[in-house]
Structure 1
């Protein structure tokens, strides 16, 4: 589609909100700054409300502006879906799909997913954004994402889970760590060793704090970071253990540089990973193709990690 069905004024407001100033938006859109400013002023006059606060460092959305940007982004997402459906009616398997995934997926299944989709369906363009589970849900329900792959999505009427899997709660250790051959671990055993702990920004830490806050009373034995990659590096060093899921550590489990130990304590609930869509909107044929490839790649990633774990158990036995 050469042009956009979304009015230019709404597209300009959206870009200024993203860029933070008219000058930066003009560069992004390759449009004169005066034209953008004029369109915004005319829109404010028509609506009889200010859309931005003009501050020394740029433009800041008002509440009215935020509502209008939400509408503009929803329209643009609907426009992309409509263009995809028109192409499908013409028998062309092409379109654009926006996927939101977690940071831990970057070194896991995402590269395989992107490579496979490009190889099998080269006419499907893909946009991948990395976000927290909370932000992923916001992106999905605001119309800014077609699919999300996220941890621990709570049941909701407006979210439809296409596929999901349980991820046993556990910890990872280096293969030569004292605990590595245990097969399973109790929380009481775990706290006897230094722990590389994820920060409260991540779901597994919030789960640990809510259920097992006593684990971390000895701050001398814990190192806290918001970087999953650092957590896994510290676990591979052999000095620390780390609480995480098989999917978070799948590449390291598959290559044998980490070992996964499920927690055997009663009440230790599994995490979940899900591929989900907005239940209020139909999923296009192109969206279904992407969802199927995404699901297959997550399954494959988990299978490789678990297969390596079974091999370690047999050799240890």
Structure 2
């Protein structure tokens, strides 16, 4: 298989279109199409499902895409190491995280890491867990931090950490003085909720469905930062993983109270990387610095 065929395949996989891939490659669409057909013939496998709206990777195509991404990343790593062979600590790290973790916990980890590794640059992308996994699988992120999300094939789980969901209750509310509350105790309170794009919302809905009732949702958003701000300003109750020791204004207005619920107590954070990929040294250094990871779980 020629390198050019794999390059064309990668562009079609990323764009979902032969025409768009041809534009990015500055070649004709027919040239791209021929290479894809030739690659499929060589492999005796269908790599794409052809639809009116574009090209969708088949199961075989997904497997090849992961392999091609690993090759590209390891080639990039080798070239970078050759360029910087005289430098002990250069490089670039790409992170992908859900917002609730990124706002302060990951930010603090980046700040600590940069103190010891000032020549390493860092980029952080914030989104939902499904998109985080997709970015790691596509080689667009070195490390992914997801929340209560089942990792798809092609990822290595570096760490699983239980992160219970707490109720953040205004301090002038009698419930704020309790060590724990049940979901039933919170009925009748005004709530600020994450919207349906957030993993936490799905957990909340699962827990409420098991109880057979809803809570009084008066505000929702896909931004965890805005969720905390509105809760501070309006006195709404909200759910969040631990905020102890963090600098959010909500720690001044709201108390963190444990929720007596199996779904809430069993929520987890996962740190994931691309399976089978040899991670660059700066990425391994960050995993050790931020999470204490020296060996992956799986």
TM-score of the pair, normalised by structure 2: 0.71
Per the alignment, do residues 40 and 10 of structure 1 end up closer, same or farther by CA in structure 2, a change over 3 Å counting? farther
The 1:192/1:54 distance shift into structure 2, 3 A limit, reads: closer
Pairing 1:202–2:195 present: no
Structure 1 residue 159: Cα displacement: 3.3
- Find 1:100's aligned residue among 66, 73, 96: 96
Structure 1: stretches of 5+ with no match in the other structure = 1-5, 297-317
What are the equivalent positions in structure 2 for 1:1-317 lying under 5 Å apart? Answer: 7-21=3-17, 25=21, 29=24, 31-34=25-28, 38-48=31-41, 51=48, 53=50, 55=52, 59-61=54-56, 63=58, 66-83=62-79, 92-118=88-114, 120-137=116-133, 139-140=135-136, 145-152=141-148, 159-162=156-159, 165-213=161-209, 217-218=213-214, 221-223=216-218, 225-227=220-222, 228-246=224-242, 250-252=246-248, 256-264=252-260, 269-277=265-273, 280-281=276-277, 283-295=279-291
Write the distance in 2 (CA, Å) between the matches of 1:52 and 1:266.
41
CA contact (8 A) 1:252 1:258 kept: no
Distance 2:16 2:96 in 1: 23
How far did residue 14 of structure 1 move? 2.7
Instruction: Work out whether residues 96 and 127 of structure 2, in 8 Å CA contact, stay in contact via their aligned partners in 1.
Output: yes
Segments of structure 2 that go 5 or more residues without pairing to the other structure are 293-298
- Retained in 1: the 8 A contact 2:47–2:61? yes
Aligned in 2, Cα 1:247/1:133: closer, same or farther, shift over 3 Å? farther
| RMSD (CA atoms) | 4.1
Separation in 2 of the partners of 1:248 and 1:129? 24
Q: Which moved more, 1:83-92 or 1:192-201?
A: 83-92
Q: CA deviation at 1:245?
A: 1.0
Deviates more, 1:230-239 or 1:41-50: 41-50
- Give the whole-Å Cα distance in 1 for the aligned partners of 2:96 and 2:249: 24
In structure 2, the residue corresponding to 1:104 is in which secondary structure?
helix
8 Å Cα contact 1:235-1:242 kept in structure 2: yes
Corresponding residue SS for 1:168: coil
Q: Verify the 8 A CA contact 1:108 1:248 in the aligned structure 2.
A: no
Question: Taking structure 1 as reference, are residues 7 and 294 closer, same or farther at Cα in structure 2, changes over 3 Å only?
Answer: farther
- The Cα of 1:246 is off from its aligned counterpart by 1.5
- The separation in 1 between residues aligned to 2:27 and 2:89, in whole angstroms, is 38
Count of residues paired in the alignment: 284
CA apart distance, 1:102: 0.8
TM-score (norm 1): 0.67
Q: CA deviation at 1:18?
A: 3.1
Residue 264 to residue 125, structure 1, CA distance change in 2 (3 Å): same
Choose 175-184 or 282-291, whichever is displaced more: 175-184
For the structure 1 residues 119 and 265, does the alpha-carbon distance in structure 2 shift closer, same or farther, using more than 3 Å as the test? closer
